[in-house]
């Protein structure tokens, strides 16, 4: 059974491989390596890589390719790890928040992703140079509206945190299927920016909502996110669930009663009639006994 | 001549008329049995391959199985209405025919639901109805109503049989096998015509005949509600329940007339089932045909007069000769008018014409049920698009036709088996009547 | 391929927890892979992409076959509390690309002719112009199909989803007759695609002979914040999906306020007059992005035939 299903896939894979082989018989192709850096709200740094090649003006993703990720600075190169691309030519690296990464004099991280190549593809590498950005979300008091304030800072070359101005920040609230954007502002001279949280947007039943602020695709900082629990959103009021109804598990009471009354009515009579038959039987037996005795 | 002796004499006379199976009877029985076997084969095919072997598809989810179901449940009205009402009204002439009527009831209430079982995709899970039943579903109402109705009609038939069983038990003339004698003895419930026994029996019969009428009405109403509770054109109608009830009594009465004709002819009961019985029941048929015609007129006039898209589409399908027109006019006009003419016009009225009228009525009623179910299902509220073209229309497959034939064959076969165990004419009742007055004479 | 999952329970947990499946191809390396505890089993074959909570593409095994609550469990009938799932379909964006239909068929292992989503070419009256209308199950709040089910095999959950337990279904087809939108399909024969996963009403997989199936809104992926397959598959962002209680719906690319969207664009529910209270809203086909005729391009011949079925729009009778 299982083999049956694997067979067509294998055939497809073979066909694809065959196609690729015939397509580049002979010369080596230089693949394209794309990479993005993202600092997640929890501090995890994530590098997403996509490996592809252009063949006959069509983008073909290279799967199962080994990639190496390392961090560079003036003193040298530290290998962070390796990964293999999936069927869509993508690979993801996650670096946990506690892990120290070598940075250069200006405070930048330099990530180098390298693909070793093989008999079909050239060696390729991609460098991502980013600085770590720090974001904090707070809720300054105001009368009738809810303000969300984000302060953005980064380390200067002395290693001291300094506010960053004029950087666009997007404001989101987390929903079940992704983030909902409610504001987009640039930081002012003090590294602050504020957006109004829509009061009509409900939180959960306790009034909790997760607010996320993001700097998107910045040339110096990559994508950076921060999140915080906001507890004063409009609480969600759930309607109590109807217990009995046409579509519910339990029937409406009148239905139950009607059925019971009807059934009792009918079956009472049926049982009474069966009782009459039994009485006929008994009467007959008694009478027969009497005749035998008198005889 | 005193009563028991007269009764015994009658019993022997009646039973000996048909007890010995004729060659024709034997051939018919074998034929019916073969049809049944073929139907079982068809059912096994359907069980193994799934309902893909039927003509039903995603739009027309119910086909002639449901038509047969309604048809057989409708027929069962013969016993309930005719014998119940006539019993309550103490109509004396009913006596020779009530047994046939009650047998029709029991047999058709057994066969009808089988079609619903056959129609279900997962018959193996039938007991989920009892373990997970939801009172909100009209199907559950149907299950409860039909089971109750079946029990009550069996009980009703049995009560009327007790005195005959007592006669059979005491009979010394007829050749009765040991098994049958034992069977009669047990079922006769030691009935020896004591005054008190008579009183009890009469009371029981009165209760049951009063009970069986509302029950029968309810069963067919519930059946109509299965359709009426859906928001589908042609079904979602408030008069559906009474319409179904009238249609059922109409077809039940017609089947009773046909059965009377067959028994009279092939079981030589000409002396018991008289022309007047045909005429009386024919008059009832006439009234019911008129009533049924009135309901049909009312239903389609109302729908046609309005302008709702979907309702009109169904109605036009029925009116148009390129769709179901021919069938509709046959069912709605011929099926009503022919029985009315044959039962209503005195110079046309005789045993054979009344029977022909009934045959037309029964066939047309089957067609009418088909026209109630299929055109509505072929009219979904959304466009008939993005589907396989063959899903749009329904044509019954050989499996469905075979099972239908199997149902009719079983119906006839059951009759042949039933009369082996119960006198076709309620002898005890008739003996009682003829004791009072000269019953069996042409004068009456 | 799903067979693999049966044999490998650890893999099942792996998916249930919704751990970084995306990172599944990681081979290791000390500081990497903070949450991926084991490598993805090799040889499972085809993969599909799904969209995660923060807009990430994830890759999981093909099809809804691996997870979820058993039909007997309480959770499956209760649903996710505090949620009320709704779908908004923007008719102005639909061009009958059929990506939704194909994705749904693929993910639920449906055979052709058993589509849970249908795309209709609607024309409201003779003078108005036609438009494409995709139709999943409407997951009504007053579902006629649930009302009539004799065994409770169809049920309405607290989160608004209407599901079918095809282990309980007796195949009476009453629900199919009762549904005014013809949203249900019947398995007239054994499905040709065999899926060896355990059935859950939340996945709708595998289908069984003699039982009813229909669109289920893919509730098995909700817990992981993954959108239904039709939503992610649509190239034009026709489908918006979300939780009405959260008041936000998304088509994978943009998130919008549900209440504002339905107000601003004058959304309607199909055949509101039936009183079934659907949870699928339609945005009227105004300012359409594609000409209707485009919908007939690049669709297979057999699908095209499905639009040629003659409906008996019979001539009016003049009596």
Domain that holds residue A216: 133-230
pLDDT computed for residue A14 by the predictor: 61
Question: Which residues in C lie closer than 8 A to residue A92 (C-beta atoms)?
Answer: 20, 22-23, 26
Fold of the domain spanning C83-292: Alpha-Beta Plaits (3.30.70)
Same domain, A118 and A24: yes
- pTM of the shown model: 0.85
Please tell me which residue of chain C has the smallest CA distance to A4: C1
Is residue B271 included in any domain, yes or no?
yes
Of A255, A274, A284, the CB nearest to B192: A284
CA torsion, ordered A289, A290, A291, A292, to nearest 10 deg? 50
| pLDDT range class, residue C301, cuts 50, 70, 90 | confident
Q: What is the pLDDT of residues C57-83, one digit of tens each?
A: 555 555 676 667 777 788 888 888 889
The helix (run of H) or strand (run of E) holding residue B361 is helix B351-377
d(CA B427, CA A222): 102
Is residue A93 included in any domain, yes or no?
yes
Bigger pLDDT: C211 vs A10: C211
CA torsion, ordered C128, C133, C138, C143, to nearest 10 deg? 40
> Which contacts qualify for B267-272: CB closer than 8 Å, 24 or more apart?
B267/B17, B267/B18, B267/B419, B267/B424, B268/B17, B268/B18, B269/B14, B269/B17, B269/B18, B269/B96, B269/B424, B269/B425, B271/B440, B272/B14, B272/B96, B272/B425, B272/B430, B272/B440
Bigger pLDDT: B63 vs C313: B63
Asked whether C173 and C187 are in contact (CB, 8 A), the reply is no
Same domain, A182 and A108: no
CA distance C145 to chain A (A): 8
Please say which residue of A187, A207, A230 terminates a domain.
A230
Domain that holds residue B131: 3-383+392-419
Is the pLDDT at A239 greater than 60, yes or no?
yes
Task: Mark yes or no for CB contact A241/C22 under 8 Å.
Answer: no
* Least-confidence region, from A74-78, B3-7, B277-281, C26-30: C26-30
Please report the number of interchain residue pairs, chain A to chain C, with beta-carbon separation below 8 angstroms. 142
Q: Cα dist. B373→B224, B378, C302 in Å? A: 11, 9, 29
Query: B11: burial class by Cβ within 10 Å (0-12, 13-18, 19+)?
Result: buried
Residues above pLDDT 90, as percent of chain A: 22
pLDDT computed for residue C259 by the predictor: 94
Asked whether B360 and C161 are in contact (CB, 8 A), the reply is no
Question: Which residues in A lie closer than 8 A to residue B162 (C-beta atoms)?
Answer: 277, 280
Which of C97, C309, C318 would you mutate first to test chain B, the one with the most B CBs within 10 A?
C309
Q: What is the pLDDT of residues C132-179, one digit of tens each?
A: 999 999 999 999 999 999 999 999 999 999 999 989 999 999 999 999
d(CA C155, CA C153): 6
Question: Which residues in A lie closer than 8 A to residue B136 (C-beta atoms)?
Answer: 246-247, 251-252, 255
pLDDT computed for residue B37 by the predictor: 96
Question: Once rounded to an integer, what is the mean pLDDT over residues C3-22?
Answer: 38
Q: Cα dist. B344→B278, B286, B338, B339 in Å? A: 12, 7, 10, 8
Is the pLDDT at C5 greater than 60, yes or no?
no
Which chains are adjacent to chain A, needing at least 3 Cβ pairs under 8 Å? B, C
Is residue A270 included in any domain, yes or no?
no
Same domain, A84 and A200: no
Task: Mark yes or no for CB contact C313/B313 under 8 Å.
Answer: yes
| pLDDT range class, residue C17, cuts 50, 70, 90 | very low
Bigger pLDDT: C224 vs C11: C224
Is the pLDDT at C91 greater than 90, yes or no?
yes
Is residue A279 included in any domain, yes or no?
no
Same domain, A96 and A120: yes
Is residue B84 included in any domain, yes or no?
yes
Question: Regarding beta strands C85-90 and C280-283, do their DSSP bridges make them parallel or antiparallel, or are they unpaired?
Answer: parallel
Is residue A235 included in any domain, yes or no?
no
d(CA B158, CA B103): 10
pLDDT computed for residue C55 by the predictor: 46
Same domain, A28 and A141: no
pLDDT computed for residue C25 by the predictor: 32
pLDDT computed for residue C179 by the predictor: 94
Task: Please give the structure tokens belonging to residue C159.
Answer: 């989160």
SS3 of chain A: helix, strand, coil, percent, to 5: 20, 45, 35
Same domain, A94 and A153: no
The dihedrals phi and psi of A43, each to the nearest 5 degrees, come to: 95, -10
Which chains are adjacent to chain C, needing at least 3 Cβ pairs under 8 Å? A, B
Task: Please give the structure tokens belonging to residue B360.
Answer: 């037309």
Say which residues have a Cβ less than 8 Å from residue A98's Cβ, sequence separation at least 6: none
Same domain, A13 and A72: yes
Question: Which residues in C lie closer than 8 A to residue B231 (C-beta atoms)?
Answer: 144, 178, 180, 274, 276
CATH number for the domain harbouring residue B127: 1.20.1630.10
Is residue A240 included in any domain, yes or no?
no
Q: How many CA atoms lie within 13 A of B294 on its CB side?
A: 9
Give the gyration radius of chain C's Cα atoms: 20
> Would you kindly state where each structural domain of chain C is located, as residue ranges?
3-61, 83-292
The dihedrals phi and psi of B231, each to the nearest 5 degrees, come to: -90, 70
Asked whether C203 and C68 are in contact (CB, 8 A), the reply is yes
Asked whether B411 and B77 are in contact (CB, 8 A), the reply is no
Same domain, A83 and A144: no
Is residue B426 included in any domain, yes or no?
no
Is the pLDDT at A201 greater than 80, yes or no?
yes
CA distance C113 to chain B (A): 6
Q: How many CA atoms lie within 13 A of A128 on its CB side?
A: 25
pLDDT computed for residue A45 by the predictor: 87
d(CA B189, CA B208): 18
CA distance A17 to chain C (A): 15
pLDDT computed for residue B247 by the predictor: 94
CATH number for the domain harbouring residue A102: 2.60.40.1930
pLDDT computed for residue A15 by the predictor: 59
Q: What is the pLDDT of residues C186-208, one digit of tens each?
A: 999 888 767 767 788 888 888 88
Is residue A284 included in any domain, yes or no?
no
Interface of B with A (CB under 8 A): 134-136, 141, 144, 148, 151-152, 155, 159, 162, 189-192, 194, 196-197, 200-201, 203-204, 207-208, 211, 215, 218
Question: Which residues in B lie closer than 8 A to residue A259 (C-beta atoms)?
Answer: 135, 141, 144
Same domain, A127 and A9: yes
Is the pLDDT at C46 greater than 80, yes or no?
no
Say which residues have a Cβ less than 8 Å from residue C56's Cβ, sequence separation at least 6: C22
SS3 B374: helix
Please say which residue of A103, A131, A159 terminates a domain.
A131
Instruction: Give the residues across from C249 on adjacent strands.
Output: C242, C256
Instruction: Give the residues across from A84 on adjacent strands.
Output: A66
Task: Please give the structure tokens belonging to residue C218.
Answer: 């893919």
Please state the domain count of chain B.
1
| pLDDT range class, residue A24, cuts 50, 70, 90 | low
CATH number for the domain harbouring residue A158: 2.60.40.730
pLDDT computed for residue C65 by the predictor: 62
Is residue B261 included in any domain, yes or no?
yes
Which of A266, A275, A279, A289 would you mutate first to test chain B, the one with the most B CBs within 10 A?
A266
Per-residue pLDDT of chain B (444 residues; tens, 9 = 90+): 456 788 888 888 888 888 777 888 899 999 999 999 999 999 999 999 999 999 999 999 999 999 999 999 999 987 788 888 888 888 888 888 889 999 999 999 999 999 999 999 999 999 999 999 999 999 999 999 999 999 999 999 999 999 899 988 888 888 888 888 888 888 888 888 888 999 999 999 999 999 999 999 999 999 999 999 999 999 999 999 999 999 999 999 999 999 999 989 888 888 888 889 999 999 999 999 999 999 999 999 999 888 888 888 899 889 888 889 999 999 999 999 999 999 999 898 899 999 999 999 999 999 999 999 999 999 999 888 888 888 888 999 999 999 999 999 999 999 899 988 888 888 888 877 666 554 444 444
CA distance C223 to chain B (A): 28
Is residue A217 included in any domain, yes or no?
yes
Same domain, A40 and A105: yes
Is residue B319 included in any domain, yes or no?
yes
Please say which residue of A131, A159, A194 terminates a domain.
A131
Task: Mark yes or no for CB contact B207/A279 under 8 Å.
Answer: no
């Amino acid at each position: 059974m299982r083999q049956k299903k694997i067979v067509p896939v294998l055939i497809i894979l073979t066909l694809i491989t065959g196609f690729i082989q015939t397509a580049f018989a002979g010369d080596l192709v230089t693949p394209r390596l794309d990479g993005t850096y993202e600092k997640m709200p929890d501090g995890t740094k994530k590098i997403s890589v996509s490996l592809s090649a252009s063949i006959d003006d069509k983008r073909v993703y290279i799967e199962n390719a080994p990639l190496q990720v390392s961090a560079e600075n003036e003193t040298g190169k530290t290998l962070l790890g390796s990964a293999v691309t999936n069927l869509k030519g993508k690979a993801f690296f996650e670096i946990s928040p506690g892990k120290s990464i070598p940075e250069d004099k200006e405070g930048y991280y330099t990530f180098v992703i390298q693909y070793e190549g093989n008999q079909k593809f050239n060696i390729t590498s991609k460098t991502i140079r980013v600085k770590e950005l720090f974001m904090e979300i707070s809720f300054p008091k105001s009368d009738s509206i809810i303000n969300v304030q984000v302060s953005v800072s980064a380390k200067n070359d002395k290693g001291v945190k300094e506010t960053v101005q004029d950087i666009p920040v997007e404001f989101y609230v987390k929903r079940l299927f992704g983030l909902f954007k409610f504001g987009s502002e640039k930081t002012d001279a003090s590294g602050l920016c504020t957006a109004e949280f829509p009061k009509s947007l409900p939180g959960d039943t306790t009034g909790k909502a997760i607010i996320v602020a993001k700097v998107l695709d910045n040339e110096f900082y990559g994508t950076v996110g921060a999140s915080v629990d906001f507890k004063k959103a409009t609480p969600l009021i759930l309607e109590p669930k109807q217990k009995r109804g046409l579509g519910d598990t339990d029937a409406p009471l009148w239905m139950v009663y009607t059925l019971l009354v009807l059934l009792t009515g009918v079956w009472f009579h049926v049982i009474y009639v069966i009782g009459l038959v039994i009485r006929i039987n008994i009467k007959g037996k008694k009478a027969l006994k009497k005749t035998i005795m008198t005889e | 001549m005193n009563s028991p002796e007269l009764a015994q004499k009658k019993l022997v006379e009646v039973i000996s008329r048909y007890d010995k199976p004729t060659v024709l009877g034997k051939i018919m029985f074998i034929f019916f049995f073969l049809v049944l076997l073929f139907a079982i084969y068809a059912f096994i095919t359907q069980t193994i391959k799934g309902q893909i072997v039927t003509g039903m598809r995603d739009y027309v989810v119910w086909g002639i199985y449901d038509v047969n179901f309604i048809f057989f449940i409708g027929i069962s009205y013969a016993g309930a209405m005719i014998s119940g009402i006539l019993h309550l009204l103490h109509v004396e002439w009913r006596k020779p025919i009530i047994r046939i009527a009650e047998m029709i009831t029991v047999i058709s209430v057994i066969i009808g639901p089988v079609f619903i079982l056959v129609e279900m995709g997962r018959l193996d899970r039938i007991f989920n109805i009892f373990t997970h039943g939801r009172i909100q579903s009209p199907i559950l109402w149907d299950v409860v109503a039909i089971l109750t109705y079946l029990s009550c009609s069996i009980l009703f038939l049995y009560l009327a049989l007790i005195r005959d069983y007592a006669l059979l038990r005491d009979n010394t003339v007829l050749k009765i096998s040991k098994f049958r004698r034992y069977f009669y003895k047990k079922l006769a419930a030691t009935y020896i015509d004591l005054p008190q026994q008579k009183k009890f029996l009469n009371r029981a019969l009165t209760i049951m005949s009063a009970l069986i009428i509302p029950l029968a009405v309810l069963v067919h109403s519930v059946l109509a509600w299965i359709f009426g509770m859906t928001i589908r054109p042609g079904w979602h109608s408030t008069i559906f329940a009474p319409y179904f009830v009238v249609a059922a009594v109409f077809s039940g009465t017609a089947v009773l007339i046909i059965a009377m004709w067959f028994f009279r002819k092939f079981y030589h009961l000409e002396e018991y089932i008289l022309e007047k019985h045909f005429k009386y029941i024919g008059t009832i048929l006439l009234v019911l045909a008129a009533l049924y015609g009135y309901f049909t007129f009312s239903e389609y006039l109302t729908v046609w007069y309005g302008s709702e898209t979907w309702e009109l589409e169904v109605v036009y399908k029925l009116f148009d000769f390129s769709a179901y027109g021919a069938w509709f006019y046959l069912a709605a006009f011929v099926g009503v008018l022919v029985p009315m003419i044959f039962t209503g016009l005195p110079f046309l009225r005789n045993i054979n014409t009344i029977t022909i009228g009934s045959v037309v009525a029964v066939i047309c009623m089957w067609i009418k049920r088909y026209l109630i179910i299929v055109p509505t299902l072929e009219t979904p509220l959304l466009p008939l698009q993005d589907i396989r073209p063959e899903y749009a229309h329904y044509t019954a497959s050989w499996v469905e036709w075979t099972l239908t034939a199997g149902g009719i064959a079983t119906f006839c076969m059951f009759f042949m088996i039933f009369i082996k165990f119960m006198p076709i004419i309620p002898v005890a009742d008739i003996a009682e009547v003829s004791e009072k007055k000269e019953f069996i004479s042409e004068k009456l | 391929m799903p067979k693999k999952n049966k044999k490998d329970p650890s893999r099942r947990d792996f998916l249930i927890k919704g751990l970084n499946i995306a990172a599944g191809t990681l081979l290791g390396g000390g500081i990497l892979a903070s949450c991926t505890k084991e490598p993805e089993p090799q040889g499972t074959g085809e993969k599909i992409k799904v969209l995660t909570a923060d807009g990430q593409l994830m890759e999981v095994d093909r099809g809804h076959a691996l997870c979820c609550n058993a039909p007997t469990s309480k959770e499956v009938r209760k649903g996710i509390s505090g949620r009320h799932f709704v779908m908004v379909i923007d008719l102005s964006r639909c061009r009958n690309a059929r990506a939704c239909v194909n994705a749904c068929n693929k993910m639920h292992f449906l055979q052709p002719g058993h589509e849970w989503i249908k795309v209709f070419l609607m024309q409201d009256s003779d003078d108005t112009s036609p438009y494409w209308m995709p139709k999943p199950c409407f997951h009504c709040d007053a579902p006629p199909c649930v009302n009539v089910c004799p065994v409770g095999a169809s049920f309405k959950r607290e989160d608004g989803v209407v599901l079918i337990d095809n282990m309980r279904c007796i195949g009476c087809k009453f629900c199919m007759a009762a549904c005014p939108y013809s949203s249900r399909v019947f398995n007239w024969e054994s499905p040709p695609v065999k899926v060896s996963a355990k059935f859950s009403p939340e996945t709708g997989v595998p289908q069984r002979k003699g039982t009813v199936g229909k669109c289920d809104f893919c509730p098995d992926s909700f817990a992981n914040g993954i959108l239904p397959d039709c939503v992610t598959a649509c190239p034009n962002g026709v489908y918006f999906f979300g939780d009405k209680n959260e008041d936000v719906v998304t088509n994978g690319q943009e998130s919008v306020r549900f209440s504002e969207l339905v107000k601003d664009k004058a959304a309607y529910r199909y055949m509101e007059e039936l009183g079934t209270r659907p949870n699928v809203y339609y945005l009227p086909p105004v300012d359409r992005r594609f000409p209707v005729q485009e919908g007939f391009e690049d669709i297979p011949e057999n699908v095209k035939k499905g639009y040629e079925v003659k409906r008996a729009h019979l001539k009016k009778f003049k009596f």
